[in-house]
């Protein structure tokens, strides 16, 4: 792809910037992990969070456990609630494989529902909320580059997940390309977080596994990639 045709993020020089999130996810993850560890130790809950015991309890609920998890994903993205805790819960409760499957599918459905809410039910309200921000130029970018902008902004998370869901609902992109682009583009970050969360239970037992260290390195690598990509875009005057 030539530089002339490279999709760019909405200009940072225009209007009021919104929070940047390249390293926010890993930082929130670290704080969440520390707070959870303190709470579990203080309340004496580590025995209940033993991996075999917890996964067995979830398995005992049959299809109801993943169904409830998926239902949460249809609601959470529209409530302006950070999605990271729910993502981590998927890895903890269902393990790396099914946690990944349920989280990616649930997050995609939730993002699509929020997209439709913005487009058909709350268009004026959303337009008012993003007026004067970088997202106000998003429709022009979508008109020029289509689904590639969805992929770019999911891979390089300048804005929170739920904010993008609403903002894309105001653009001219059709639902199907938006949904497919979202599904594919959230895979790398979701895989990193789910793999990390699936190795997290050992920490509550005082164990530090190789899998946890590897998954933590994966999350940091994803954050570094995002930061470098944003920096490169800025150097090209595309951001």
pLDDT of residue 55: 82
pLDDT of residue 130: 87
Residue 101: name the closest of 73, 78, 129 by CA.
73
pLDDT of residue 110: 96
The model's pTM is: 0.78
Helices (H), the chain: 24-43, 51-60, 64-75, 84-116, 123-130, 138-145, 147-155, 161-169, 175-185, 187-198, 201-204, 210-235
Burial tier of 169 (Cβ tally within 10 Å: 0-12, 13-18, 19+): buried
Per-10-residue mean pLDDT for the chain, 239 residues long?
A: 50 41 60 69 65 83 94 91 88 93 96 96 91 85 89 84 92 95 93 88 72 79 75 56
pLDDT of residue 150: 92
């Amino acid at each position: 792809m030539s530089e002339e045709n490279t999709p760019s993020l909405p200009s940072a020089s225009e209007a009021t910037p919104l929070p940047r999130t390249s390293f926010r996810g890993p930082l929130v993850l670290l704080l969440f992990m520390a707070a959870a560890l303190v709470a579990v130790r203080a309340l004496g809950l580590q025995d209940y969070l033993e991996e075999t015991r917890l996964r067995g309890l979830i398995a005992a609920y049959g299809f109801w456990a993943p169904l409830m998890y998926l239902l949460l994903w249809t609601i959470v993205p529209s409530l302006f609630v950070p999605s990271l805790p729910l993502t981590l819960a998927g890895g903890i409760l269902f393990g790396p494989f099914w946690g990944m499957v349920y989280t990616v599918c649930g997050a995609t459905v939730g993002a699509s529902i929020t997209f439709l809410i913005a487009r058909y039910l709350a268009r004026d309200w959303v337009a008012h909320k993003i007026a004067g921000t970088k997202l106000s130029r998003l429709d022009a970018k979508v008109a020029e580059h289509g689904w590639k902008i969805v992929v770019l902004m999911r891979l390089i998370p300048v804005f929170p997940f739920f904010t993008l869901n609403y903002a894309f609902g105001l653009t001219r992109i059709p639902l199907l390309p938006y949904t497919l682009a979202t599904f594919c583009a959230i895979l790398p970050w979701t895989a990193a977080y789910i793999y990390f969360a699936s190795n997290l239970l050992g920490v509550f037992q005082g164990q530090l596994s190789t899998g946890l260290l590897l998954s933590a390195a994966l999350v940091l690598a994803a954050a570094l990639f995002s930061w470098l990509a944003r920096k490169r875009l800025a150097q090209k005057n595309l951001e």
